[in-house]
Amino acid sequence: MFDTTQIPWQHESTIIHTQRVLHSYQHWTGQSLFDLSLAPQELAQSLFKAPFAVVSHGTEVDSIFNYGNQTALKLWELSWEEFTKMPSRKSAPEAIQQERSHLLAEATTKGFVDNYSGIRISSTGKRFFIENCTLWNLLDENNQKCGQVALFFKWKYV
């Protein structure tokens, strides 16, 4: 259980998860979001406080979010504790669940998908359009898939 006095990026498990997120991104895209030679805690803080949104879910049948940075938490209007208990399918309106499923399957097959755009929905029902989203498979230290990550820089409320 997390010490609730800590900010999410300060938890050891989140620091490890951040390493996986950043190394997986580099693995699939050949690019780096940050200088990976920085200290793991510094990278965890940088990703959490980044001005772009990053979310990830695990490999459960009904995948649960296991990470959302500060920007994502604000967009979905949830606390860390609430967000990391939410099935990731609830991030998108019911009407586009099939589209979302195809996107996740394509990323599973290819490793990553770039330039996805679509509607997402906050916990209070606000809809927002995400643009140029990159979705990639999250890899553990043995290069085994342990989830998926989405990153987007642009969104607008609709």
Q: Taking the chain (158 residues) in consecutive chunks of 10 residues, what is each chunk's mean pLDDT? A: 68 97 97 97 98 97 96 98 96 89 91 94 97 97 96 97
DSSP 101-136: HHHHHHHHHHSEEEEEEEEEE-TTS-EEEEEEEEEE
**Closest-CA residue to 57 (of 99, 110, 20):** 20
Domain boundaries, the chain: 52-157
**What predicted TM-score, i.e. pTM, was given to this entire model?**
0.93
Q: Answer yes or no: CATH 3.40.50.970 is held by domain 52-157.
A: no
User: C-alpha angle with apex 59: 80 to 131, nearest 5 degrees?
Assistant: 65
Helices 40-48 & 12-29 angle (0-180, nearest 10)? 80
pLDDT at 4: 53
